[in-house]
Amino acid sequence: MIYLDNGATSFHKPQGVYRAVGEAMRSCANPGRGGYGAALEASRRVYGCREAAAELFECQPEQVALTTSCTHGLNIAIRSLVRPGGRVVVSGFEHNAVTRPLHALGADIRVAGRKLFDWADTLERFGDALKKGADAVVFTHVSNVFGYILPVEELAALCREKGVPFIIDAAQSAGTLPVSLSKLGADFIAMPGHKGLLGPQGTGLLLCKGEAAPLLYGGTGSLSIQQEMPDYLPDRLEPGTLNVPGYAGLAEGLRYVRRTGLEEIFQREHTQLLRCVRGLETLGMRVFAGEHQAGTVSFLAGMDCEEAAERLAKEGIAVRAGLHCAPYAHESAGTLDTGTVRVSFGHDADSSQTNMFLRAASKLPGYKV
């Protein structure tokens, strides 16, 4: 299989990740609960993950809350900042992991910036939207459908200038692009553990600047007499037994990313992205490409996107078609009715993957206007 669905999850993990998961399952009891060897070993594994994340994302270990997914983290972040009915500004490229929690709160959602790959438009629209104020701003770092890299530093500066709390969805950028909690000054940055960070599924991270509201309540192994959740991080957000094997694996994924280097990983993906875009255009597909693009590209062939993906699957190519849980993004690009076929490269991107993909794609009919 040629795996080009890294936007959904990374499939080929570093060997250390598989090893760490197995070791943790054999050697770890419940972290933060007991004082015997296996419990302390579990605590060390969990702390190792926090520490590795804190180094990569420039924050303190206790500011790293361990979650089950990026969606989990976004729910905590949104519930912490947005009151029911509150006005929230979001980009035109948000995932349902952002928009559904906002919708459930009855938030007044204002969409700012719908032009793909256009930083000037994105910044201008956010600036306009924030003139009327907002309870919070939420924006994705990279569109999961189109790979559009939003101008996060400028958007963060704008939010800080306006004094509006903000959340960054780093689902598609963590492990590929620099993400710094201390530099961006975000209230929260949410990310999955299983995509660019190369950990197991069922893991995620929520970087927290300060206060956060619990989403779940329960035992934390601390202040057990008190019936309120602890008022400090990370305990406030982490009731119940943690996924120790998952975080042990994620710690190894984080260390691999640091060792390899973000720039190197980005270059591997971006080099193949450019070859893929050129190849698809030559084949007569409608390709959504532009400046400020990460290792993800969407395209349309001359047939239904799901049927195209199915044909590619039969040729051994794994890509994702449809709406990618991001109707806002498709609405922005005008592809809500058709969906797209998405190709997303990962840390192991190389030219043989692109060649095999393009060979299979050449059997699809070209896009007809």
Binding site for another protein (CB under 8 A): 31-35, 40, 43-44, 47, 50-51, 60-62, 220-226, 230, 232, 234-235
Cα(338)–Cα(333) distance, rounded to whole angstroms? Answer: 11
Looking at the Cβ atoms of 43 and 296, the one nearer to another protein is 43
Cα(180)–Cα(174) distance, rounded to whole angstroms? Answer: 10
> Is the Cβ–Cβ distance between 328 and 111 less than 8 Å?
yes
Q: How far is the CB of 217 from another protein (least distance, A)?
A: 16
Sort strands 136-140 and 87-91 into parallel, antiparallel or unpaired. parallel
Cα(213)–Cα(79) distance, rounded to whole angstroms? Answer: 7
Looking at the Cβ atoms of 55 and 306, the one nearer to another protein is 55
Q: How far is the CB of 41 from another protein (least distance, A)?
A: 11
Looking at the Cβ atoms of 66 and 343, the one nearer to another protein is 66
Q: How far is the CB of 17 from another protein (least distance, A)?
A: 22
Q: How far is the CB of 35 from another protein (least distance, A)?
A: 4
Residue 36 class from Cβ within 10 Å (0-12 exposed, 13-18 middle, 19+ buried)?
exposed
Q: How far is the CB of 203 from another protein (least distance, A)?
A: 17
Q: Count other C-beta atoms under 10 Å from residue 39's C-beta.
A: 17
CB contact set of 274 (below 8 Å; sequence gap of 6+): none
Listing DSSP states for 283-334 in one string gives TT-EEE--SSB-SEEEEE-SS-HHHHHHHHHHTTEE-EEE-TT-HHHHHHHT
Q: How far is the CB of 16 from another protein (least distance, A)?
A: 21
Looking at the Cβ atoms of 15 and 224, the one nearer to another protein is 224
CB contact set of 251 (below 8 Å; sequence gap of 6+): 20, 45, 48, 49, 51, 52, 199
Looking at the Cβ atoms of 226 and 351, the one nearer to another protein is 226
Looking at the Cβ atoms of 250 and 323, the one nearer to another protein is 250
Looking at the Cβ atoms of 235 and 252, the one nearer to another protein is 235
* DSSP 8-state assignment for residue 61: G
Q: How far is the CB of 163 from another protein (least distance, A)?
A: 25
